[in-house]
Structure 1
Amino acid sequence: MPTVARLFAVTVDCPDPLSLANFYREFLGGELRSSNPDFVVLTTDGSVRLDFQRVDNHRPPEWPDSGAPRRLHLDFVVGDLEQVAQLLVGLGATRASHQPGSGRFLVMLDPAGHPLCLSTECN
């Protein structure tokens, strides 16, 4: 099947786009672009950028909540789970109280409450 589209961005809804974009910039590196009070773009050396969009009635997803609809979350491959978790805590993230996966990955919550998963492998 021929390619008809290419993913170029993932947009994250949040109450404070600049603050959350800075959190991810500190974690991933990169550069903030197209910044205004309602929308911030983070470009990194990857092929997909992260966009942060203000949503005034934002409510962080409950983790885990089987009664709530599942939402998008981001997965990252890292070298050392605990070392990166401590970095993220220093940047304002928290470790999720529920940790599924028997230690294969670690669930963190970014400053806006979105879950993000850290893993040492991508398969």
Structure 2
Amino acid sequence: MTLPMRLTAVTLDCADPEALAAFYQRATGFELHPASDRDFAGLTREDGFFIGFQRVDDYRAPGWPGRSVPQQAHFDFAVDDIAEAEAVLLELGATAPEHQPGGARWRVLLDPAGHPFCLARK
């Protein structure tokens, strides 16, 4: 049996919700949710999809690619030009880990809170 479910939101744990929301807002162009505050911030896409960022005391960033602190989840973004998108995201505060398992097919970056995310060609 398949339920008629539609994914409407994803929420990430972090130490600074406002800062992480600002990073992803600049990266995606999503709108900052008006109810965002110190403990929970959110971004909304025009179709209603929501990305939330919630403050967690003693937050520990994922240890990617190691598993000492599992990555738990990650985003995949489709871009026209991987190298160009990577350069922009690095300027916005992302970092590029040495381990890159995707070769030329995709690129792994880490957001300012340490969550891995991937860039792949559209």
Q: Which runs of 5+ in 2 are unaligned?
A: none
Q: How does 1:91-106 map to 2 (within 5 A)?
A: 91-106=92-107
Q: Structure 2 length normalisation: TM-score? A: 0.91
Which residue is equivalent to 1:25? Answer: 25
Q: Counterparts of 2:38 and 2:57 in 1: how far apart (Å)?
A: 12
Note closer, same or farther for the CA distance 1:67–1:19 as it changes in structure 2 (3 Å cut): closer
Residue-by-residue CA offset, 1:37-70 (whole Å, 9 max, x unaligned): 1001100235521001001111110110145545
Q: Counterparts of 1:52 and 1:67 in 2: how far apart (Å)?
A: 22
Which residue is equivalent to 1:35? Answer: 36
Secondary structure at the aligned position of 1:11 is classed as strand
Identity, % of aligned positions = 47
Q: Counterparts of 1:111 and 1:68 in 2: how far apart (Å)?
A: 16
Q: Counterparts of 2:47 and 2:20 in 1: how far apart (Å)?
A: 19
Aligned residues: 121
Which residue is equivalent to 2:61? Answer: 60
Secondary structure at the aligned position of 2:36 is classed as strand
Which residue is equivalent to 1:14? Answer: 14
Q: Which runs of 5+ in 1 are unaligned?
A: none
Deviation at 1:102, TM superposition (A): 2.1
